[in-house]
Amino acid sequence: MIRDFFLGFIKIHILYHASKAPVCGIEIIKELRRHGYSISSGTIYPTLHALERHNYLRSENSVVGGKRRRYYQITKKGLKVLEASRKKISELVEEVMEQTEIGN
Protein backbone atom coordinates (compact mmCIF):
# COMPACT_ATOMS: atom_id res chain seq x y z
CA MET A 1 0.00 0.00 0.00
CA ILE A 2 2.61 2.46 1.13
CA ARG A 3 4.89 1.09 -1.55
CA ASP A 4 2.17 1.70 -4.14
CA PHE A 5 1.91 5.26 -3.01
CA PHE A 6 5.63 5.67 -3.11
CA LEU A 7 6.05 4.19 -6.57
CA GLY A 8 3.75 6.82 -7.96
CA PHE A 9 5.46 9.44 -5.89
CA ILE A 10 8.94 8.55 -7.03
CA LYS A 11 8.91 10.70 -10.13
CA ILE A 12 8.05 13.76 -8.12
CA HIS A 13 10.72 12.83 -5.63
CA ILE A 14 13.30 12.67 -8.39
CA LEU A 15 12.19 16.03 -9.74
CA TYR A 16 12.49 17.50 -6.28
CA HIS A 17 16.04 16.25 -5.80
CA ALA A 18 17.01 17.33 -9.28
CA SER A 19 15.73 20.79 -8.41
CA LYS A 20 18.17 20.96 -5.52
CA ALA A 21 21.23 19.53 -7.25
CA PRO A 22 22.05 17.29 -10.22
CA VAL A 23 21.27 13.65 -9.50
CA CYS A 24 22.22 10.34 -11.04
CA GLY A 25 20.62 6.91 -10.94
CA ILE A 26 22.87 5.21 -8.46
CA GLU A 27 22.60 8.11 -6.00
CA ILE A 28 18.82 7.98 -6.12
CA ILE A 29 18.82 4.25 -5.55
CA LYS A 30 21.13 4.59 -2.56
CA GLU A 31 19.24 7.49 -1.08
CA LEU A 32 15.98 5.60 -1.29
CA ARG A 33 17.59 2.58 0.27
CA ARG A 34 18.71 4.70 3.21
CA HIS A 35 15.10 5.72 3.67
CA GLY A 36 14.00 2.09 3.59
CA TYR A 37 12.72 1.83 0.03
CA SER A 38 14.44 -0.52 -2.35
CA ILE A 39 13.57 0.46 -5.87
CA SER A 40 14.94 -1.64 -8.68
CA SER A 41 17.45 -0.20 -11.12
CA GLY A 42 15.12 -1.56 -13.76
CA THR A 43 12.65 1.01 -12.50
CA ILE A 44 14.93 3.97 -11.84
CA TYR A 45 16.75 4.14 -15.14
CA PRO A 46 13.72 3.85 -17.39
CA THR A 47 12.01 6.44 -15.17
CA LEU A 48 14.88 8.86 -15.65
CA HIS A 49 14.73 8.26 -19.39
CA ALA A 50 11.02 8.99 -19.39
CA LEU A 51 11.47 12.21 -17.41
CA GLU A 52 14.09 13.34 -19.86
CA ARG A 53 11.91 12.38 -22.82
CA HIS A 54 9.23 14.65 -21.38
CA ASN A 55 11.84 17.41 -21.04
CA TYR A 56 11.47 17.61 -17.29
CA LEU A 57 15.12 16.68 -16.89
CA ARG A 58 18.21 17.16 -19.00
CA SER A 59 21.25 14.94 -18.61
CA GLU A 60 24.95 14.91 -19.34
CA ASN A 61 27.64 12.34 -18.81
CA SER A 62 30.42 12.89 -16.38
CA VAL A 63 33.07 10.98 -14.49
CA VAL A 64 33.29 10.87 -10.70
CA GLY A 65 36.13 8.98 -9.04
CA GLY A 66 36.85 7.22 -12.29
CA LYS A 67 33.23 6.12 -12.58
CA ARG A 68 31.00 7.09 -15.45
CA ARG A 69 27.80 8.80 -14.37
CA ARG A 70 24.88 10.46 -16.07
CA TYR A 71 23.74 13.49 -14.12
CA TYR A 72 20.26 14.90 -14.52
CA GLN A 73 19.19 18.41 -13.70
CA ILE A 74 15.74 19.85 -13.74
CA THR A 75 14.52 22.06 -16.58
CA LYS A 76 12.18 25.02 -16.39
CA LYS A 77 9.41 22.80 -17.63
CA GLY A 78 10.28 20.31 -14.91
CA LEU A 79 10.19 23.03 -12.26
CA LYS A 80 6.74 24.04 -13.36
CA VAL A 81 5.52 20.46 -13.17
CA LEU A 82 7.05 20.09 -9.73
CA GLU A 83 5.32 23.24 -8.60
CA ALA A 84 1.98 22.10 -10.00
CA SER A 85 2.48 18.72 -8.36
CA ARG A 86 3.05 20.32 -4.99
CA LYS A 87 -0.29 22.05 -5.19
CA LYS A 88 -2.10 18.87 -6.08
CA ILE A 89 -0.28 16.91 -3.43
CA SER A 90 -1.26 19.25 -0.66
CA GLU A 91 -4.88 19.11 -1.78
CA LEU A 92 -4.94 15.35 -1.95
CA VAL A 93 -2.95 14.67 1.15
CA GLU A 94 -4.70 17.19 3.35
CA GLU A 95 -8.01 15.43 2.99
CA VAL A 96 -6.69 11.99 3.78
CA MET A 97 -4.81 13.24 6.80
CA GLU A 98 -7.98 13.99 8.74
CA GLN A 99 -7.91 11.50 11.54
CA THR A 100 -10.47 8.80 11.98
CA GLU A 101 -10.79 7.58 15.52
CA ILE A 102 -9.20 4.17 15.50
CA GLY A 103 -10.45 1.23 17.48
CA ASN A 104 -7.98 -1.56 18.01
The reply on whether position 21 binds a copy of itself by CB under 8 A is no
Which of 38, 40, 61, 100 is the binder for a copy of itself (CB under 8 A)?
100
The reply on whether position 86 binds a copy of itself by CB under 8 A is yes
Distance between CA atoms of residues 22 and 52, nearest Å = 13
Contact 82, 15 (CB under 8 A): yes
The reply on whether position 24 binds DNA by CB under 7 A is yes
Q: Which stretch binds a copy of itself (CB under 8 A): 22-30, 38-46, 62-70, 82-90?
A: 82-90
Task: Tell me the closest approach of the beta carbon of residue 60 to a copy of itself, in angstroms.
Answer: 20
Contact 22, 71 (CB under 8 A): yes
Which of 20, 53, 68, 76 is the binder for DNA (CB under 7 A)?
68
Around Cβ 104, how many Cβ atoms within 10 Å? 2
DSSP code of residue 46: H
In what helix (H) or strand (E) does residue 32 lie, and over which residues does it extend? Answer: helix 25-34
**Which residues make beta-bridge pairs with 60?**
71
- The residue ranges that bind a copy of itself (CB under 8 A) are 1-2, 4-9, 11-13, 15-16, 19-20, 54, 56, 76, 79-86, 88-90, 92-93, 95-98, 100, 102-104
